[in-house]
């Protein structure tokens, strides 16, 4: 988080509280990053409002730039500006769509999580981060190099945020149910599955000083367990990875990050593997 040079903050003038801006100021105060305030609107001029926000933030010691843009839809507008400004983090307040609308149309926030080439922080509450629990969700059942790198990034970001907020880092990994028919004996008993998952967590437990009491290995689907543990811990932010699944498989299955977005009672930081980020940057450049 501390290597981010510019943070893109999506401002919605219709929202009475700039929750995204509050989070951005907290992060910028530690990372010394520039804030770029963006209003996605191609109709009404918001230059006076943006100028006022900029002046207020500059008096607080922040380096600020502003802009207003529109390109087809919200998520494409955000991504275009993110690339143009070289922003290493996008912060946006999440406003849930109705279940009916979500069933008919893919929400813009889901599309932003899929296609944005940098981490996205969805702000959902005004709860202060200070002293709060941070929950990092990993899938240690996938042990390939891409997933191990993503796990390290998720835990690393969680550690940074917990340090920033003076809070505690917790890690959750969901594991499948035991199957007597499994070819691998380790997956025939719940106890041996859990032991294998705990063993896979030992490296980052040691690196980031995470005690066993803050490691949650649980049986069940991740999209149900992550919100449950988040609620139990009263986590202020949950960090999760996504492989940015698109196309028919994305429509049928959904990404865990998207599925849990509305269910989580915390802010949500979504990260991607490096190769996915490179691919998304290439797609943006081709537009």
CATH of residue 88's domain is 3.40.50.620
The tokens for 116 are 């944005």
pLDDT per 10-residue tile (average), the chain, 287 residues: 85 89 92 95 94 96 96 94 95 80 72 90 94 92 73 90 92 76 56 82 87 91 93 96 55 63 93 68 66
Distance CA 252, CA 265 (A): 25
With a CB cutoff of 8 Å and minimum separation 6, the contacts of 259 are 223
Distance CA 19, CA 23 (A): 7
pTM: predicted TM-score of the whole model, two decimal places: 0.87
How many folded domains does the chain comprise?
2
pLDDT for residue 254: 47
pLDDT for residue 253: 37
Distance CA 244, CA 257 (A): 9
CB neighbours of residue 40 within 10 Å: 21
Q: Are residues 196 and 264 located together in one domain of the fold?
A: yes
Q: Are residues 83 and 143 located together in one domain of the fold?
A: no
Q: Which helix (H) or strand (E) holds 36?
A: strand 34-40
- Could you tell me the CATH number of the domain that includes residue 209? 3.40.50.12370
Residue 119 lies inside a defined structural domain of this protein: no
Q: Are residues 74 and 147 located together in one domain of the fold?
A: no
pLDDT for residue 199: 87
Residue 103 lies inside a defined structural domain of this protein: no
Residue 114 lies inside a defined structural domain of this protein: no
DSSP state of 44: S
pLDDT for residue 150: 82
Question: Is 204 within 8 Å of 210 (Cβ atoms)?
Answer: yes
pLDDT for residue 95: 83
Residue 1 lies inside a defined structural domain of this protein: no
Q: Are residues 164 and 265 located together in one domain of the fold?
A: yes
3-state secondary structure of 141: coil
Q: Are residues 46 and 146 located together in one domain of the fold?
A: no
Q: Are residues 79 and 156 located together in one domain of the fold?
A: no
Question: Is 146 within 8 Å of 278 (Cβ atoms)?
Answer: no
Residue 195 lies inside a defined structural domain of this protein: yes
Q: Are residues 40 and 176 located together in one domain of the fold?
A: no
Task: Please classify residue 97 by burial: count the beta carbons closer than 10 Å to its beta carbon, then call 0-12 exposed, 13-18 middle and 19+ buried.
Answer: middle
pLDDT for residue 178: 63
The tokens for 131 are 């002293």
Q: Are residues 78 and 143 located together in one domain of the fold?
A: no
Distance CA 148, CA 155 (A): 11
Residue 88 lies inside a defined structural domain of this protein: yes
> Which residue's entry shows tokens 């490096």?
274
Question: Is 91 within 8 Å of 121 (Cβ atoms)?
Answer: yes
In which domain, by residue range, is 29 found?
A: 6-93
pLDDT for residue 102: 59
Domain boundary among 69, 93, 117: 93
Question: Is 19 within 8 Å of 93 (Cβ atoms)?
Answer: yes
Kindly compute the dihedral angle of the four CA atoms of residues 166, 170, 171, 175, in this order, to the nearest 10 degrees.
-160
CA angle 193, 149, 30 (to 5 degrees): 115
């Amino acid at each position: 988080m501390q290597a981010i040079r510019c943070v893109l903050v999506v401002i919605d003038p219709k929202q009475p509280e700039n929750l995204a801006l509050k989070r951005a100021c907290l992060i910028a105060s530690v990372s010394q990053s520039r804030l770029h305030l963006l209003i996605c609107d191609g109709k009404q001029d918001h230059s006076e409002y943006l100028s006022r926000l900029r002046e207020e933030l500059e008096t607080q010691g922040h380096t600020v730039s502003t802009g207003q843009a529109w390109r087809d839809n919200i998520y494409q507008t955000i991504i275009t500006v993110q690339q143009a400004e070289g922003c290493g983090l996008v912060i946006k307040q999440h406003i849930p769509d109705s279940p009916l609308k979500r069933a008919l149309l893919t929400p813009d926030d889901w599309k932003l999580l899929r296609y944005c080439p940098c981490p996205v922080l969805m702000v959902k509450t005004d709860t202060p981060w200070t002293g709060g629990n941070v929950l990092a969700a990993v899938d240690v059942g996938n042990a390939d190099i891409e997933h191990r790198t993503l796990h390290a990034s998720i835990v690393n970001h969680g550690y940074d945020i917990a340090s920033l907020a003076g809070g505690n880092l917790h890690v959750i990994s969901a594991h499948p149910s035991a199957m007597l028919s499994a070819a691998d004996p380790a997956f025939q008993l719940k106890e041996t599955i859990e032991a294998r998952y705990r063993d896979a967590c030992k490296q980052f437990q040691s690196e980031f000083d995470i005690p066993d009491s803050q490691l949650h290995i649980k049986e069940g689907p991740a999209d149900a367990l992550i919100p449950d543990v988040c609620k139990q811990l009263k986590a202020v932010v949950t960090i999760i990875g996504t492989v940015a699944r698109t196309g028919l498989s994305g429509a049928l299955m959904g990404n865990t990050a998207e599925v849990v977005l509305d269910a989580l009672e915390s802010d949500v930081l979504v990260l991607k593997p490096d190769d996915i980020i490179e691919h998304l940057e290439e797609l943006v450049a081709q537009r």
